[in-house]
Amino acid sequence: MKLYIGQDSYRCTEPRHGESLVHVLGHQFGPALLVVGCSVAQALDVLDELFGTPIDADDLALRDYGDTPEQALAEAVAVGDARHSDSGPVWVDHYEWIQSFATPREAGAWIRSQTSQRLEVVR
């Protein structure tokens, strides 16, 4: 399990207007990433950067979506099979999930109840 600490981590103890800055992201095998100090969109970008499968223009799977790579990518995004992230387009894992928490302490307690994996800091 990986830990990512964002630039807004100093604010994570006081969510503003219902915005949580602590998120646990995972997939079918359980929790994979704890993100502290980021919005949900930023947390998904971190997940994509660490675990996502990038889409290349010559990816054969794109042929199912359209004739040109640009058209195919647009269609894959439209139907929810791909998304744009900071690192470029990636395929969506339909088993991924996100759970938000008010504080890092709550997220840590929940993670300990779900897995025995140790945290590895990535940033």
Q: In the chain, which stretches have pLDDT less than 70?
A: 1, 6-19, 123
Which pLDDT value is given to residue 123? Answer: 62
Which pLDDT value is given to residue 32? Answer: 87
Quick one: 99 exposed, middle or buried, by C-beta within 10 A (0-12, 13-18, 19+)?
Answer: middle
pTM for this entry: 0.77
Alpha carbon distance 34, 107 (integer Å)? 8
Residue 9 main-chain phi, psi, to 5 deg? -65, -25
Which pLDDT value is given to residue 91? Answer: 94
Which pLDDT value is given to residue 11? Answer: 46
| Edge-to-edge strand list for the sheet holding 97-101 | 97-101, 22-27, 30-36, 2-5, 120-121
Domains of the chain, by residue range, sit at: 1-52+94-123, 54-92
Which pLDDT value is given to residue 10? Answer: 46
